[in-house]
Amino acid sequence: MWTDLSFPILARRHSRFAAGPTGDNPPPPFLRGPKAFILHYIRTRPLQFAALIIMVIAAASCAVAVQYVMKLLVDAMAGPRDGNSAAWTALSLFISLIAVESVLWRLSGWLGCRTTLGVGVAMRLDLFDYLNGQPMRYFAENLAGSLGQRITSTAGNFGALTNTVVWRVLPPFVDFIGALIVFSLVDWRMMTTLAVFVVIVTGGLILFGERGHHYHRTYAGRSNHVSGELIDVISNMWAVKAFSARRRERERLAHDFQVEATAQRASWMYTEKARVIHDISLWVMAGAMLSWCVHLWSTGQITPGDVVVVSALTFRILHGSRDMALSLVDMVQQFGYIDETLRVIGQPQSVCDSPNAPDLKSRGGTIEFRDVSFAYGGGRDAVHDIDLRIPAGQKVGIVGPSGAGKSTLIHILQRLYDVQKGEIVIDGQSIRSVSQDSLRTALSVVPQEISLFHRTVMENIRFGRPDATDEEVFAAARAAYCDGFVCSLPDGYATVVGERGMKLSGGQRQRIGIARAFLKDAPIIILDEATSALDTESEMEVQKALVRLMRDRTVIAVAHRLSTLTAFDRIIVMMGGRIVEDGTAMDLRQQRGLFDRMWRLQAEGLSLDEIVEDAA
């Protein structure tokens, strides 16, 4: 295995992408366009790329020299046979050049492989680093499969671009320069004619290819979109089957595939047009050059060896010019792919750490919302003028109808989004002034929809604290009352749970999420309908476990079942993005306000949304 894939660029932390604590932060310079992007990675390995180019130039030069030595060999063989050492000398030189050329090509292939693969690793990691700094809204607006496809294909496009430049553009260019030198030794008029023709044809093909740039960019965009759509359908196959949508989804995908194929056809056929133009030019030029060469030989102005070298180099150069021109067209296409990816992934980040942001110093878990307002995408405020102080160790429940701002409140506390007004403070430190990772280290979150990886149960629980021992994982599982069902799985804790945990029931996933929170052992706990997927018996068991988890910790719990919050120190009632009531469950019941009405109506079997409608 190669050991140099992890060069210094891989050691750079995500913080290098940080710009400032407020407003949208533009991407770093190397993500602002394909040229800057490619040059950035070339600069990370200047010696390897320089050595690669030198090897290819030397190998291509040997190939041209072989053609000239062939002329010497033919001319020597046309002379007297006796005592003709020139033929043997030319043959020895011919064989030696072929051997050196082969060695150089193999060395360049070896070095090119190491270099492009190493850059590909760094490139994907850097794109992933920048991608995971985007706010959650970004991931709601872009298909996960499409984003993954873009990251992977960008590394592949860089490798293809490197191969194109090094092995399909550079060698023909060296051949062209070498041919001009050889032709100047035969007839300067041939050299001039060849130079003018090749420059005109190659330049024309490049301009023609540049005009097709939009075809290639369109195809790249459609290809990534279709990949994301396909993965999205596969990921939601249960819904496809449950709603008898197999035919409908097939037809939708068929339409997407057809649109992609149309875009690919336009890109492909544009390249074919370039090939037709060059083939016609090749036929005309080759016929003219060879006719001219035979005429000069018939008048005794050049030797048979000259005819051989001119013939060989003419076809080599003309074919090489076609390869070079079409390769330059391909480069435009590959640039288009990379550009399209950077347009999506390289969008400005709205949540970034301040430069050299310190870690959060936890001192118990006091939380303060100071005149906080936040709106999604410039719309009306999801939460408005929130002033709230939660002392360390206090247990606070948050209730209200859908859209009241409960989830938004806990999202901005985790700094998944930055607020537009006010500030959130934990233990006297603004969450915008500390690093995001240290902030989230201080929070244990149990969401309503538990997100599990396509990994084992052990790995999913240990995700809360990677350095935990197996015994600590088992203890957390027992505390969350999931040890029993885990042990009954085919491979116990080594059972792979499937994509998003699809092999487990909703309640089982929820308990694994709670076990993960137990294991993390953070000073602040956020529960977002943490027991909503459990049956009554399991909920009672998990509630007991949560009591132990919450001991001596600050707790914020969003709940629809008001009865689960009776033991909490305070209950916050939200409505329309504002706090409308605040107090203990008993105090709020006695006030005969919204909470009391919700309590009484929920006892009659109504949901919170129905209760609010009734109250209105």
CB atoms within 10 A of CB 103: 14
| Helix/strand/coil for 260 | helix
Tell me: pLDDT of 222 over 70: yes
pLDDT tens-digit map of 478-509? 888 888 888 988 889 998 988 777 788 877 88
**Sign of the C-alpha dihedral computed for residues 7, 139, 447 and 379 taken in this order:** positive
Tell me the pLDDT band of 54, cut-offs 50, 70 and 90: very high
For the stretch 227-264, what's the b/e string if a residue is b when 16 or more beta carbons lie within 10 angstroms of its beta carbon?
bbbbbebeeeeeebeeeebeeebeeeeeebeeebeebb
pLDDT at 79: 65
What are the structural domains, with CATH classification, of the chain? 16-345 (1.20.1560.10), 367-442+522-615 (3.40.50.300)
Q: Which residue has the higher pLDDT, 411 or 540?
A: 411
Q: Distance of alpha carbon 588 from its chain centroid, rounded?
A: 49
Q: To the nearest whole percent, how much of the chain has pLDDT over 90? A: 12
Tell me: pLDDT of 446 over 80: yes
Taking the complete model, does pTM exceed 0.85, yes or no? no
Average pLDDT of the residues of the chain: 80
pLDDT at 609: 52
CA pair distance 209, 282, nearest whole angstrom: 18
pLDDT tens-digit map of 3-40? 333 333 333 334 444 444 444 677 788 888 888 898 99
The closest of 436, 467, 439 to 361, measured between CA atoms, is 439
pLDDT tens-digit map of 225-276? 787 788 778 777 767 877 777 888 888 889 888 888 888 888 788 777 777 7
CA pair distance 76, 68, nearest whole angstrom: 13
pLDDT at 22: 42
pLDDT at 604: 66
Over residues 36-63, mean pLDDT: 91
Quick one: tokens of 165?
A: 């430049």
The dihedral over CA atoms of 162, 165, 168, 171, expressed in degrees to the nearest 10, equals: -120
Q: To the nearest whole percent, how much of the chain has pLDDT over 70? A: 88
Over residues 562-582, mean pLDDT: 86
Tell me: pLDDT of 330 over 80: no
CA pair distance 592, 602, nearest whole angstrom: 15
* Highest mean predicted confidence (pLDDT) among 234-248, 321-335, 411-425: 411-425
pLDDT at 367: 93
pLDDT at 213: 67
pLDDT at 387: 92
| Helix/strand/coil for 235 | helix
pLDDT at 110: 92
Q: Contact at 8 Å (CB) between 334 and 157? A: yes
Q: Which residue has the higher pLDDT, 319 or 126?
A: 126
